[in-house]
């Protein structure tokens, strides 16, 4: 990656600056007045009211997703580092991609909801990143960020503006979309050389604790994720309450079934780190609907069970039968629960919990999200497969030292700084 | 714990769903209007105004308490993991237990204060968890969660509604209560086999750093804890300001006395992780009173000193003379400072800092909190002592591998995944 | 440090309590009315509106700065622990030092902006702490805290009240000031014995991950830092938006140039941990001005490049030619970008982005900030050089065990608790 990575990054940042110069402006009273031809000043106070929710989402994106992926023993720098890189590029590009579609050719006025949506758009890429974690280069991730967010913005526009479907917590447009996009990419990039596993694809004790930092910040702030762009008042209130109780219920079933599926009844950190979050995904679509707190707890409970079963039975099956290797198991945390969220939304609409959507709209949204994700992911996978993007060799997968200067692991190891050969590492921590 | 744990967890979650279905509803304008027979719409905006304080408390419960207990070298998974389990169950059960008492037979309307109180009620159990950390099973913790929150809700109702005492930051009803409840349980469960210590009951370098994550998030967000349910306006403002300065003063004396009590003047991480927080506990009862900033600093300073002395002199005494082994030293962080907070409340009321409480009310609240805690803890301890709850043997205490699939500690260790014998562990990190 | 440290700490805390008793009171309606002789009640609601921004800044100070410095393999306790000590003392002293200057002899009324400013004033000392990290004693840091905050408060008053300059994100008054103050101290305290490096002055794998916790919380909450005390409305809104996009752009160039300057194109954790934040510093002065989002991205992009170049080329030069050893490279994260922020402010004013400041005011503010910092730092360095403050010997630098009880690093090491000889440590983690 001697020059490809830095030159591509610089080129992309220059492009972002040009695009922002052309299309983006402040949301000021004057702008709004000009456009709407009205005299009522905008309420800038509304910016500060949603700002804490934006910051919660911000923490989920950068600390939550970043640390959740640090579970691999030798891939923590890349997990948290490339997560930061993807998100920083993605929020700029997402501002443009979503903004242009929603502003209908006008200038994009940056408000708090644009910033929340920009962070949201990066989430899709970070979910997909989980599927290919350890098997791709930073250059490939820059390319995936650009393509995926463009496709995401298109599908999100379709779902929200054309189908007029409800998906306030983005179970379909972010979680299912990100998961199936990533799985499609992972399928195209399948490495038969890793069929029987890789010695680096495992955790050590402290890497699992680092991952719990990610889990907890995702878990705690998920009510903000599902409510940040909800309609103020009852809907936003319900999105918070429903997500809070769905997640609590999900924790209990995830723990119970993690213990049940293991033959001696022990808990598995992979389940605790991930399946405890499935309740936030699954309640996303109908979070702002009047599904009642116990309804959200039923959704969360089922999601926790589903996710544990996914990790236990589907992930191995995918790897062997479908030739799709899903490093973080994003199918179990985002794919299945996201799809379940879409279906729960259809059921909730059928039961009259929403007065603005129909079952058909919801079904179209679910189909469109999965369809565009798979097609977009396959095309992206083919592009990323071109042998010019500094992909790691099979042997170098799941190893930071290929792209990072890695310090010694503990005192008596050979110091690798400057040696240039990551194979000399004796990673003993 | 092959089936006991999962079946009990599933049963409890099913019970929660049924209870929520029967008793819990959204706080909507319509509900309120029906009940109060008035026409003024509720201010849903108030929900968002307190939401950031709720999220701060949320972080304290899940990251604060969770990581604070990761200091043990081989018990990090359980500390942060069982903390999550207890809190997720506790917030559901606390919603019901507190809600039923306060709604006087009406339906429970979920507002932001219910969510804050639900998180609060879990804090009592997490404090008690600290006293028995490493010596109990997940099954035992599920049972303790259910009993302790029920007793807590009863005492909290007594203190707030019958005695009409002030305890805004819950020095008495949460901190002293949780500590003495936990100590009573620990006393009943005393293991004479661990009288001379256990090789796993110690920290390693990085486990102490993980614990500092917990310390800092508790420390920073404590002003939110003490003010979240305070009366809007002056009282809430004072609760924030007093807690802020009490904690700052407490840090200085905790550092000074940590150095003073060690014979060579070095700082002890146990004191820094815990005693620096005592100022938040001790100022809790009178946090919203007009005690002046310098008054809160005096309270914080004394609390820091008291807590360090507790760790240095009382904890060993408790273990040897009283046969109460307090793993995290919750007596020094929550018990003593909580009792001091209750006494400070009496003094503050005597000096005229409150116009809504009397010394007698405050004294009754303190007595009731400690009394119900000790009685409730003794009964709970006896129940937990029944030899059917998968308790760890003395040898297996303070060891994650009894209840968790634990990865190897570093590269060249034997991999224990799937071996099923945690004694083969060579924990070398 | 047998008695010097605890006695000095106790003396300082007593002094703070006396000063607070004399000068500090609540901001109540009554106070305000008495002083202003008006009848309009203050808006206590404004307190809660800014409280989330205060908490973000609070997290930056305690978790952000604290963990950012944990990158050293054997100095994590001191990094996060002495950071807490400095900040807890500093926020009390900063309340007094800034309050007295701004209240013009009246009592200091504690509002949310005083609390934000108190946290800000500690940031200067924490930045300077980074320059001398590992080479000073806790006693020295107590002294530096007292002197530096006094000088900071004087310069801040000069910049804001006399020069009437704009510096909303404090590029000049905090970042440049803190950096050059620290560099001046480091220059006076230069140890020629460490000219060829020290074996402890390096990271291990997991200490670099701990440092990323600090990096991310600083990065995410920087928009709050730059906007917390901005004028409500458009200016505060712009401060948030500009900082958000400046930081995003900065990440991309920091990654690109980190890879470019390394001869094999690998990423360097030191750059990722630090240079990604330079965009927040550099946009500080003009954050609330109408520089347009793409303008802030240009500033951020340049700051990222500048900071990486600083780490790569200036830090070694400083150490060898100027005899200034800058442990954390604060010159590259705070010094250069802070100076660039001051210059960007001048340019922005020249281009008409502010209607309240002039180029001359801005230039005077930049000169004053750097001038007072260097003079203050030199004097402080001379005081700290007196051989009575328990300085570590050259050999004991960058080693927690000099001032802390340090647990064993992993299982089979000798346990050092109570042995009293840190040299017996075999730090193997």
Out of A20, A77, A409, the one facing C294 most closely (by C-beta) is: A20
Contact in structure between B74 and B427 (CB atoms under 8 Å): yes
| Best residue in B32, B51, B118 for a mutation probing chain A (most A CBs within 10 Å) | B51
Single out the residue of A5, A24, A4, A25 nearest to residue A16, CA to CA: A24
Residue C194: DSSP 8-state: G
Residues 263-292 of A with CB under 8 A from B: 264-269, 272, 276, 290, 292
Q: What share of chain B is helix, strand, coil (3-state, %, to 5)?
A: 70, 0, 25
Q: What are phi and psi of B25, to 5 degrees?
A: -140, 170
Confidence of residue C29 (pLDDT cuts 50, 70, 90): low
**Interface contact A63-C428, CB threshold 8 A:** no
**Rounded Cα distance, C183 and A397, in Å:** 42
Residue C417 clears pLDDT 60, i.e. is over it: no
Confidence of residue C55 (pLDDT cuts 50, 70, 90): very high
Which helix (H) or strand (E) segment holds residue B118: the answer is helix B112-132
| Best residue in A45, A67, A205 for a mutation probing chain B (most B CBs within 10 Å) | A205
* Torsion from C-alpha of A220, A221, A223, A224, nearest 10 degrees: 160
Chains A–C, number of C-beta pairs less than 8 Å apart = 190
Residue B422 clears pLDDT 50, i.e. is over it: no
Hey, which residues does C26 pair with through a beta bridge?
Answer: C110
Confidence of residue A419 (pLDDT cuts 50, 70, 90): very low
The predicted model gives B197-217 an average pLDDT of 96
Contact in structure between A113 and A167 (CB atoms under 8 Å): no
The predicted model gives B166-190 an average pLDDT of 97
| Best residue in B45, B52, B206 for a mutation probing chain C (most C CBs within 10 Å) | B206
Nearest-Å Rg of the Cα atoms of chain C is 21
**Rounded Cα distance, B331 and B311, in Å:** 9
Residue B429 clears pLDDT 50, i.e. is over it: no
**Interface contact B62-A267, CB threshold 8 A:** no
pLDDT digits (tens, 9 = 90+) for C316-372: 999 999 999 999 999 999 999 999 999 999 999 999 888 888 999 999 999 999 999
**Interface contact C405-B297, CB threshold 8 A:** no
- Strand A108-110 relative to strand B267-268, pairing: unpaired
- Range in A51-55, B126-130, B387-391 the model is least confident about: B387-391
**Interface contact B265-C1, CB threshold 8 A:** yes
Contact in structure between B52 and C58 (CB atoms under 8 Å): no
The predicted model gives C390-403 an average pLDDT of 95
For CA atoms A391, A393, A396, A402, the dihedral sign is negative
Q: What are phi and psi of B404, to 5 degrees?
A: -130, 150
Out of A9, A24, A28, the one facing C255 most closely (by C-beta) is: A9
Shortest distance between the Cα of A411 and any Cα of chain C, in A, equals 5
- Percent of all residues in chain A with a pLDDT value above 70, rounded to a whole number: 91
Task: Return the structure tokens found at C99.
Answer: 């309050």
Shortest distance between the Cα of B292 and any Cα of chain C, in A, equals 7
The residue in chain A having the minimum alpha-carbon distance to the alpha carbon of residue C289 is A26
The angle that helices C205-227 and C45-59 make with each other, rounded to 10 degrees, is 150
- Range in A196-200, B55-59, B241-245, B418-422 the model is least confident about: B418-422
**Rounded Cα distance, A133 and B122, in Å:** 36
- What three-state secondary structure class fits B131? helix
Q: What are phi and psi of A321, to 5 degrees?
A: -85, -45
**Rounded Cα distance, B250 and C18, in Å:** 15
Confidence of residue C270 (pLDDT cuts 50, 70, 90): very high
Task: Return the structure tokens found at C87.
Answer: 């900040």
Interface check B261 vs A, CB under 8 A: no
Contact in structure between A281 and A333 (CB atoms under 8 Å): yes
Q: Which residues of A touch B409 (CB under 8 A)?
A: 204-205
| pLDDT at site B410 | 62
**Interface contact A81-C294, CB threshold 8 A:** no
Task: Return the structure tokens found at C279.
Answer: 């965009």
Shortest distance between the Cα of A43 and any Cα of chain B, in A, equals 14
Domain residue spans of chain A: 17-26+49-192+199-385
pLDDT digits (tens, 9 = 90+) for A163-175: 999 999 999 999 9
pLDDT digits (tens, 9 = 90+) for B72-85: 999 999 999 999 99
Pick C371 or B48 by higher pLDDT: C371
**Rounded Cα distance, A206 and B424, in Å:** 19
Single out the residue of B279, B202, C245 nearest to residue A21, CA to CA: C245
In sequence order, the 6+-apart residues with CB closer than 8 A to the CB of B143 are B380, B383, B384, B389
Nearest 5°: the CA angle B15, B20, B23 is 120
Neighbouring subunits of B (3+ Cβ pairs under 8 A): A, C
| pLDDT at site B356 | 85
Interface check A212 vs C, CB under 8 A: no
Residue A414: DSSP 8-state: P
Average pLDDT value over all residues in chain A: 91
Single out the residue of C204, C189, C192 nearest to residue C128, CA to CA: C189
Hey, which residues does A268 pair with through a beta bridge?
Answer: B405
Residues 165-184 of C with CB under 8 A from A: none
Residue A35 clears pLDDT 90, i.e. is over it: no
Shortest distance between the Cα of C233 and any Cα of chain A, in A, equals 6
Single out the residue of B397, B402, B394 nearest to residue B191, CA to CA: B394
Contact in structure between A353 and A285 (CB atoms under 8 Å): no
The predicted model gives C194-214 an average pLDDT of 94
Average pLDDT value over all residues in chain C: 91
| Best residue in B214, B245, B410 for a mutation probing chain C (most C CBs within 10 Å) | B245
- Range in B41-55, B289-303, C56-70, C402-416 the model is least confident about: C402-416
- What three-state secondary structure class fits A281? helix
Q: Which residues of A touch C206 (CB under 8 A)?
A: 76, 206, 210, 429
Contact in structure between A165 and A361 (CB atoms under 8 Å): yes
The predicted model gives A286-299 an average pLDDT of 96
**Interface contact B249-C16, CB threshold 8 A:** yes
Out of C62, C115, C206, the one facing B219 most closely (by C-beta) is: C62
Shortest distance between the Cα of B148 and any Cα of chain A, in A, equals 18
Q: Which residues of A touch C219 (CB under 8 A)?
A: 62, 84
**Interface contact C404-B256, CB threshold 8 A:** no
**Interface contact B210-A205, CB threshold 8 A:** no
Nearest 5°: the CA angle C167, C170, C171 is 95
Most confident of A239-248, B104-113, B407-416: A239-248
Residue C387 clears pLDDT 80, i.e. is over it: yes
In sequence order, the 6+-apart residues with CB closer than 8 A to the CB of C320 are C195
Q: B329's torsion region: left (phi>0), alpha (psi -120 to 50) or beta?
A: left
Confidence of residue B424 (pLDDT cuts 50, 70, 90): very low
Interface check B411 vs A, CB under 8 A: yes
**Rounded Cα distance, C42 and C27, in Å:** 9
- What three-state secondary structure class fits B181? helix
Residue B38 clears pLDDT 80, i.e. is over it: no
pLDDT digits (tens, 9 = 90+) for B290-307: 999 999 999 999 999 999
Residue B338 clears pLDDT 70, i.e. is over it: yes
Q: Which residues of A228-252 are buried (b: 16+ CB within 10 A; e: fewer)?
A: bbbeeebbbbbbbbbbbbbbbbbbb
Residue A277 clears pLDDT 80, i.e. is over it: yes
| Best residue in A259, A261, A309 for a mutation probing chain B (most B CBs within 10 Å) | A259
Residue A10: DSSP 8-state: H
Interface check C46 vs A, CB under 8 A: no
Most confident of A43-47, B411-415, C319-323: C319-323
| pLDDT at site B36 | 54
The predicted model gives A136-155 an average pLDDT of 98
Pick A297 or C412 by higher pLDDT: A297
Single out the residue of A199, A415, B9, B252 nearest to residue C205, CA to CA: A415
| pLDDT at site B428 | 34
Interface check A33 vs C, CB under 8 A: no
| pLDDT at site C424 | 37
| pLDDT at site B414 | 44
Task: Return the structure tokens found at C297.
Answer: 């991205």
**Interface contact A267-B403, CB threshold 8 A:** yes
Task: Return the structure tokens found at B26.
Answer: 């959204």
| pLDDT at site B426 | 37
| pLDDT at site B34 | 56
Q: How many helices (H) and strands (E) does chain C have?
A: 17, 4
Interface check C221 vs A, CB under 8 A: yes
Q: State the ipTM, two decimals.
A: 0.94
**Interface contact B237-C44, CB threshold 8 A:** yes
Residue A1: DSSP 8-state: -
**Interface contact C63-B238, CB threshold 8 A:** no
**Rounded Cα distance, C225 and C54, in Å:** 8
Single out the residue of C263, C284, C260 nearest to residue C172, CA to CA: C284
Single out the residue of C56, C77, C52, C55 nearest to residue C66, CA to CA: C77
Shortest distance between the Cα of A190 and any Cα of chain C, in A, equals 25
Average pLDDT value over all residues in chain B: 91
Which helix (H) or strand (E) segment holds residue B404: the answer is strand B404-405
| pLDDT at site A103 | 86
**Rounded Cα distance, A167 and A361, in Å:** 11
Task: Return the structure tokens found at A191.
Answer: 């490495």
Interface check C421 vs B, CB under 8 A: no
Residue A193: DSSP 8-state: G
E strands, A41-111, where?
A: 108-110
- Range in B276-285, B353-362, C3-12 the model is least confident about: B353-362
Residue A414 clears pLDDT 70, i.e. is over it: no
Residue B420 clears pLDDT 50, i.e. is over it: no
Question: Cβ of A18: how many Cβ atoms within 10 Å?
Answer: 11
Contact in structure between A281 and A222 (CB atoms under 8 Å): no
In sequence order, the 6+-apart residues with CB closer than 8 A to the CB of B281 are B169, B171, B175, B303, B333, B334, B337, B338, B340, B341
C323, burial (CB in 10 Å: exposed 0-12, middle 13-18, buried 19+): middle
Interface check B419 vs A, CB under 8 A: no
The residue in chain A having the minimum alpha-carbon distance to the alpha carbon of residue B19 is A294
Q: What is the number of residues in chain A? A: 429
Interface check A407 vs C, CB under 8 A: yes
Question: Cβ of C343: how many Cβ atoms within 10 Å?
Answer: 18
Residue B66 clears pLDDT 90, i.e. is over it: yes
Residue B145 clears pLDDT 70, i.e. is over it: yes
For domain C17-26+49-192+199-385, say whether CATH 3.30.365.10 is its number.
no
Pick B248 or A414 by higher pLDDT: B248
Shortest distance between the Cα of C194 and any Cα of chain B, in A, equals 25
| pLDDT at site C45 | 53
Q: pTM for the complete prediction? A: 0.95
| pLDDT at site B32 | 54
Shortest distance between the Cα of B236 and any Cα of chain C, in A, equals 9
E strands, A42-188, where?
A: 108-110
In sequence order, the 6+-apart residues with CB closer than 8 A to the CB of A411 are C73, C204, C426, C427, C428, C429
Single out the residue of A72, A103, A48 nearest to residue C50, CA to CA: A48
pLDDT digits (tens, 9 = 90+) for A182-202: 999 999 999 999 988 899 999
Confidence of residue C157 (pLDDT cuts 50, 70, 90): very high
| pLDDT at site A46 | 77
**Interface contact B249-C405, CB threshold 8 A:** no
pLDDT digits (tens, 9 = 90+) for A363-407: 999 999 999 999 999 999 999 999 999 899 999 999 999 999 999
| pLDDT at site A420 | 36
Q: Which residues of C touch A69 (CB under 8 A)?
A: none
């Amino acid at each position: 990656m001697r020059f490809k990575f830095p030159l591509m990054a610089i080129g992309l940042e220059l492009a972002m600056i040009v695009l922002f110069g052309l299309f983006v402006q402040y949301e000021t009273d004057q702008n709004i007045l000009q456009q709407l031809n009205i005299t009522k000043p905008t309420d800038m106070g509304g910016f500060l009211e949603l700002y804490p929710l934006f910051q919660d989402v911000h923490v989920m994106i950068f600390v939550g997703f970043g640390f959740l992926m640090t579970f691999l023993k030798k891939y923590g720098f890349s997990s948290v580092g490339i997560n930061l890189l993807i998100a920083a590029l993605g929020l700029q590009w997402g501002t443009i991609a979503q903004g242009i579609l929603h502003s209908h050719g006008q200038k994009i006025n940056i408000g708090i909801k644009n910033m929340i949506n920009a962070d949201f758009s990066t989430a899709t890429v970070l979910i997909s990143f989980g599927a290919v974690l350890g098997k791709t280069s930073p250059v490939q991730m820059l390319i995936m960020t650009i393509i995926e967010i463009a496709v995401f913005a298109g599908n999100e526009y379709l779902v929200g503006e054309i189908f007029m479907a409800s998906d306030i917590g983005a179970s379909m447009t972010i979680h299912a979309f990100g998961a199936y996009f990533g799985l499609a990419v992972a399928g195209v990039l399948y490495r038969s050389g890793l069929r029987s596993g890789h010695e680096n694809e495992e955790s050590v004790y402290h890497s699992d604790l680092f991952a719990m930092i990610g889990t907890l910040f995702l878990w705690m702030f998920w009510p903000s994720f599902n409510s940040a762009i909800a309609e103020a008042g009852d809907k936003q209130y319900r999105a918070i309450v429903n997500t809070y109780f769905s997640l609590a219920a999900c924790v209990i079933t995830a723990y119970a079934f993690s213990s049940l599926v293991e033959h001696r009844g022990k808990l598995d950190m992979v389940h605790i780190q991930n399946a405890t979050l499935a309740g936030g995904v699954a309640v996303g679509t109908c979070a702002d609907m009047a599904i009642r707190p116990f309804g959200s707890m039923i959704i969360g409970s089922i999601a926790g069970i589903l996710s544990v079963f996914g990790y236990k039975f589907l992930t191995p099956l995918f790897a062997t039968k479908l030739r799709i290797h899903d490093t973080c198991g994003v199918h179990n945390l985002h794919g299945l629960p996201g799809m379940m969220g879409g279906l729960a939304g259809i059921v909730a609409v059928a039961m009259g919990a929403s007065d603005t959507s129909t079952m058909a709209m919801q079904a179209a949204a679910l189909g469109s999200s999965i369809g565009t994700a798979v097609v977009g992911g396959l095309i992206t996978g083919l592009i990323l497969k071109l042998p010019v993007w500094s992909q790691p060799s099979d042997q170098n997968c799941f190893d930071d030292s290929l792209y990072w200067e890695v310090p010694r692991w503990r005192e008596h190891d050979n110091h690798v700084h400057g040696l240039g050969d990551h194979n000399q590492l004796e990673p003993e921590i």
